[in-house]
Amino acid sequence: MEKSVKDCVHEMISYDDARVSAPYEHETTALLGLGLLMCALRAPGRGRAVLHATLAGILFARAASGTDGLRKWANVPRP
């Protein structure tokens, strides 16, 4: 039986919630996102700027997600 994309995403989220984060994983990801955002502002063309900004957004979302993301920083318990 084939898995749907939704099932694969659910498995990835479950795996990420169950594993222990690497030290400073989310902070490093946020800094990389900030670096890509700065690259987007200085990009020579619009295509590159959009690509850099999109990747920066993805990295910011990753930095904010998970057990050790914004939830840990703000001391908010899991629902």
- For 51-69, write each residue's pLDDT tens digit: 999 999 999 988 887 777 7
Number of domains in the chain: 1
Please check the confidence at residue 15 and state whether its pLDDT lies above 70. Answer: yes
Residue 78 lies in a domain: no
Could you please report the per-residue DSSP string of 29-66? Answer: HHHHHHHHHHHHHH-SSHHHHHHHHHHHHHHHHHHHSS
Residue 79 lies in a domain: no
pLDDT band at 26; cut points 50, 70, 90: confident
- Cβ 41 vs Cβ 50: under 8 Å: no
Per the structure, the complete domain to which residue 68 belongs is given by 5-73
Residue 20 lies in a domain: yes
Q: What predicted TM-score, i.e. pTM, was given to this entire model?
A: 0.72
Residue 25's pLDDT is 84
